[in-house]
Chains A and B, each alone.
Chain A
Amino acid sequence: MVALSVNGKSYNVDVESDTPLLWVLRDTIGLTGTKYGCGIAQCGACTVHIDGVATRSCQVPVGTVGAKNITTIEALAQDGKLHAVQKAWLDLDVPQCGYCQSGMIMAAVSLLKQNPKPTDADIDAAMTNICRCGTYQRIRAAIHTAANA
């Protein structure tokens, strides 16, 4: 059994401690908003927040998380109110297929927390996730929109 705090709720999950956090979130807890894309921390589709910091959950053994707080895309909106980044994503209609967008949004929220007014170069450096549909132009615009919201 591994104890875990996800989106403000405590869980005890019956998995091996080396199981990647991604699969515990998706298959054990049932939070499928976090996606599998590569399993080697290349694509960023599995990005969640661990104590507020964007982290690729496919490379985090669940046994190493301990008491840290995990936040997934499902808990980003609070009290039915979208996060400013989600709002910008909605206003600019960023997603196409949408599969990478949970990870993109989590990465963008983390970036803005550390750097409230990122430049294009800051965005280039921080947003290393893959989008195969090619929504990058709108992602960049939406991050600037959220920064100015």
Chain B
Amino acid sequence: MTHMPKINRRSFIINVAAAGAGLTLGIKLPFATDEARAADVIRAADGSPEIDAWVVIRPDDTVVIRVARSEMGQGTMTGLAQLVAEELGCDWSKVTTEFPTPGQNVARKRVWGDFSTGGSHGIRDSHEYVRKGGAAARIMLIQAAAAAWNVPAAECTAANSVITHKASNRTVTFGKVAEAAAKLDPPKDIPLKDPKDWTIAGKPLKRLDTPDKIVGKTVFGIDTRMPGMLYAAISACPVFGGKLQSYDEASIQDMKGVKKVVKVGNNAVAVVADSWWRAKKALEAMTIAWDNGENAKVSSATIANFLKDGLEAEQAFVGNKAGDAKGALAGAAKVIEATYSYPYQNHAPLEPMNATALYKPDRCEVWCSTQNGEAALAATSEASGLPVAQCDVHKTFLGGGFGRRGQTDFVRQAVAIAKELPGTPVKLLWSREEDMTHCFYHPITQCKMTAGFDANKNLIALHMRVSGQSILATVFPGRMDKDGRDPVVFQGLNPGGPEGAFGYDIPNLLIDHAMRNPSVPAGFWRGVNTNHNAIYVETFMDQLAHEIGEDPLAFRLKYLKPKHAAVLKAVADKAGYGTPAPQGVYRGLAQIMGFGSYVAACAEVSVKDGQVKIHRIVGGTNSGHAANPELIARQVEGSFVYGLSAMMYGACTVRGGHIEQRNFDTYQVMRIDEMPKVEAIVMPDGEFWGGVGEPTIAVAAPAVLNAIAAATGKRIRNFPLKDNDLSAA
């Protein structure tokens, strides 16, 4: 597949620049021989007609499907293309894709909708309008063929990129009628197929991006190359909130290849050179003085004390309430308590942050891996000082995102640097060390769980108090509610709603949050707040079952809502829960609703000499619909690796106001030798559209922790696991 028109980069830049100048009129490039006739046809850069914003058809029948969302491994590009192709009725083997630019989207009144790719929203938020994009194009292609044949459109059908008029036994391919179809008015009424009639969507088709990814051809942001390009290495103040005080530019100006030293904002300095290695070496050789400020006093211990205070604080934001939890706890026959903590995590996508910027006095363009093309465009405009209409962002494939690339800090830096070198493209690349120490980290939290049982062992009350950091307070303060509260902290804990409802019906329930925001910036990290919320709820529920002598599955099912229960039962059944496990192997369960989907896991674990071995995890997900069940199975497998890496090894600790871990030697992650066998159950019930990129990440850790408890009797409540000693257990 191609993510850019098949022309060389130089002419691509020129074409986009030309398109930019005429963007208010749509992309009308002078390729048509008859300008007047083609006046209303919008054309792709290679001159092929756009049937509508989502579908371009080339004369050779190639179907170019526009994908607005970013592809970072989750497979959205393939899944969205399947939805468009399904309604279009095209030959899947003729499908290729391209990413429209955010600048084009803005200029065309956001014809492609939202570009933001996070929160597992890619497909669930856009499935309807992308399917309509495919269906409208099919209607127009049929109409064009019917007009040419002088027959009613209703007598024609489209399948496999061929339009057929059965009565007269005539056929024509899409490519032959694309020009005529592109001139038609789009239909007003656009019915969609019943998903049960799907032949492309919903099927386990191969990913469109694999062929390029196995030969090293895929272009990630870091791979951007342009004639005359220079390279920048950067260092920002290691202490959050600290500032750049001074730097000794003279000491490196004679180093080979060094072109410029640029102060970036008030907290960073970059060296620009003719190769990245030379830039990095010079940066490391340069003496830099930081004004660390007050936050230099912050450490993991001060943060822990700050959060601990929130566990008992009077004031807290109530997220879910039923009955009178505190009153019921006071009168309960048996009360059980436990406290927990969850550390900062770095996303650590394998491609470090980077962006390439080309600034000219009248135009600024950026090439980068981004989860939010429009936010990157806004950042480009702000950092360059140019209006949005004179800027654009070219999205590449992402070498992992996991939430980190929804931020635009690295884009702003790249533009600020390029602005000092007008006309010269500059590629800013962060070292892994810079990336590890300048993240928007998974928020840090602590939690106190308190449960009350009546004399008949009925769970009558639960109070869950989370104390900790708000992501919105760092990245979207404007989205907090009018009283400065962050409703996102209750992911998976909400009283209802389509996003993440709490699964258990408990008569007296109180879930509240005491916000405590340390100086370390927080951000969206795959799974977001469900990661710790699921650990707190699901390991505590498991403990409650054990303490009252009930089976953890049976205990949960007494209180779980039907959809939550169904997926938990499915994984338990497939894992053989209730039947004997292999010698020395123990099982653990967990469930949650997150990102609109119901998910569960059953883990099989053994513990020998303090070493945990995860043998197998059955993961289940009910995402309502499935654009491609194989893509979902991959998300289940991959999310488990991500979630378990964090649980077993992940922790970004703070000393002197900065993050201590600087690379993968100290921020360890799972490798293949620890990979359990993962079996995914994809069980869409057809009743809603849920997300799939994130939900299952949250159940891996608690399922494994519950299995560890079954094996050892020990409940791990502080993370990562590697800091706990299981050898005596």
Contacts and interface: CB of A to CB of B under 8 A. Distances in A.
A77 B278 CA distance: 32
Contacts of B219: 32
B72 A37 contact: no
Contacts of A130: 350, 664, 669, 671
B371 to A, nearest CB: 12
A97 B672 CA distance: 17
Contacts of A98: 73, 209-210, 212-213, 218, 397, 399
A65 to B, nearest CB: 15
Interface in A20-79: 20, 23, 26-28, 30-40, 42-43, 45, 72-74, 76-77
A135 B638 contact: yes
Contacts of B399: 35, 97-99
Contact of B677 (A20, A89, A137): A137
Contacts of B217: 33, 74
B673 interface: yes
Given A27-B275, A132-B348, A136-B641, A16 B256 contact: yes
A3 interface: no
Contacts of A17: none
A134 B215 contact: no
B431 interface: yes
Given A32-B219, A96-B638, A45 B350 contact: yes
Interface residues of B, number: 60
Interface in B620-650: 630, 634, 637-642
Contacts of A138: 634, 637
Contacts of A134: 637-642, 670, 675
A12 B634 CA distance: 43
A123 B398 contact: no
B352 interface: yes
Could you tell me the dominant secondary structure of chain B's interface residues?
loop
Contact of B665 (A40, A94, A127, A128): A40
Given A33-B217, A36-B222, A128 B671 contact: yes
Given A40-B665, A43-B664, A99 B351 contact: yes
Nearest to B205: A93
A23 B233 CA distance: 13
Contact of B213 (A72, A101, A124, A131): A101
Given A20-B277, A28-B275, A30-B225, A136 B216 contact: no
Contact of B664 (A42, A95, A105, A125): A42
Given A74-B215, A93-B206, A99 B350 contact: yes
A133 interface: yes
Given A23-B275, A90-B214, A35 B675 contact: no
Contacts of A132: 348-350, 400, 402, 642, 669
Please report whether the interface of chain A is mostly helix, strand, loop or mixed according to DSSP.
Answer: loop
B75 interface: yes
A133 B209 CA distance: 15
Contact of A95 (B213, B220, B678): B213
Given A16-B256, A95-B210, A99-B350, A137 B675 contact: yes
Contacts of B256: 16
A16 B280 CA distance: 14
Contact of B74 (A27, A43, A77, A96): A96
A140 B277 contact: no
Interface residues of A, number: 59
A139 interface: yes
Contacts of A31: 216
B214 A97 contact: no
Contacts of A16: 256, 278
Contacts of B72: 97
B223 interface: yes
B457 interface: no
Interface in A101-148: 101-102, 105, 123-125, 127-140
B276 A89 contact: no
A130 B630 CA distance: 22
A96 B350 contact: no
Contacts of A124: 672-673
A93 B432 contact: no
B213 A137 contact: no
Contacts of A42: 663-665
A45 B210 CA distance: 17
A86 B215 contact: yes
A10 interface: no
Contacts of A26: 223
B297 interface: no
Given A132-B669, A137-B677, A73 B215 contact: yes
A56 B640 CA distance: 27
A2 interface: no
29 contacts: A31-B216, A32-B219, A32-B222, A35-B399, A36-B429, A37-B350, A37-B352, A37-B432, A39-B431, A40-B432, A42-B663, A73-B216, A82-B215, A93-B206, A94-B214, A95-B73, A97-B350, A97-B398, A97-B399, A99-B350, A101-B213, A123-B672, A125-B673, A130-B350, A132-B349, A134-B641, A136-B671, A137-B677, A140-B675
Interface of A: 15-16, 19-20, 23, 26-28, 30-40, 42-43, 45, 72-74, 76-77, 82, 86, 89-90, 93-102, 105, 123-125, 127-140
Given A33-B216, A99-B349, A124-B672, 14 more contacts: A15-B277, A16-B256, A38-B432, A38-B664, A39-B432, A72-B216, A76-B215, A89-B214, A93-B630, A94-B214, A99-B351, A102-B216, A127-B671, A134-B670
